[in-house]
């Protein structure tokens, strides 16, 4: 990696100042303030949130609530077996004239769960975790800033590309 020149650093500073309100610049500022320190996208978002408002995706991460309950094939198979047994019990109790309200309530709960966790074709729904969405949101913000920098300031673009390392964790590398 080539050593940054004074000119490229000045151009980077002016570029970041010009676009200081953009999310990508906020991400870069956090990374530049803590050189050689690895951050996860969630840590970056939390740091940005301390200075402003929390993103809707990050609220989901902090609450750890998911609109779709998670399941696996084994659990789903057991639930379907139990639902079939309930149908047989409900049918038998109805023929005998017994009360079936508790059985119906359990069956309806199982049916609702199955409808929640499966697609219309019966396969298990995929889960796009809020942390993954937050990663994609920040990654897209960085991409937009890089595209702008490439057009407006090639030296700032080169400096960002030279120093920014992304992946599971993001870091501004001191060269």
Residue 80 and residue 28 in one domain: no
* pLDDT, average across residues 100-121: 91
| Assigned domain for 59 exists | yes
Dump pLDDT digits (tens) for 120-136: 888 888 766 667 788 88
Element at 171 (helix H, strand E): strand 171-172
Q: pLDDT for 41-60, tens place per residue? A: 878 888 887 765 444 444 44
Structure tokens at 94: 């109805």
Predicted TM-score (pTM) of the model is 0.55
Examine the domain organization and report whether 58 and 80 are in the same domain. no
Give 64's pLDDT tier (boundaries 50, 70, 90). Answer: very low
Q: Could you tell me which residue, 155 or 69, shows the higher pLDDT? A: 155
Sign of the torsion formed by the C-alpha atoms of 109, 114, 117 and 119: negative
Based on the fold, state whether residues 5 and 60 are members of the same structural domain.
Answer: yes
Neighbours of 163 (CB within 10 A): 19
Question: Based on the structure, what is the number of domains in the chain?
Answer: 2
């Amino acid at each position: 990696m080539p050593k940054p020149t004074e000119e490229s650093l000045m151009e980077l500073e002016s570029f970041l100042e010009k676009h200081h309100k953009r999310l990508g610049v906020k991400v870069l500022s956090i990374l530049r303030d803590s050189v050689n320190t690895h951050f996860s996208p969630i840590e970056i978002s939390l740091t940005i949130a301390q200075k402003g408002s929390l993103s809707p995706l990050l609220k989901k991460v902090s609450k750890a609530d998911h609109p779709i309950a998670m399941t696996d094939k084994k659990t789903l198979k057991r639930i379907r077996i139990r639902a079939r047994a309930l149908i047989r019990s409900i049918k038998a109790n109805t023929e005998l004239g017994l009360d079936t309200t508790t059985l119906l309530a359990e069956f309806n709960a199982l049916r609702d769960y199955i409808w929640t966790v499966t697609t219309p074709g019966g396969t298990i729904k995929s889960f796009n975790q809020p942390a993954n969405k937050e990663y994609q949101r920040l990654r897209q913000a960085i991409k937009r800033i890089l595209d702008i920098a490439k057009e407006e300031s090639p030296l700032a673009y080169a400096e960002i590309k030279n120093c920014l390392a992304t992946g599971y964790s993001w870091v501004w590398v001191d060269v």
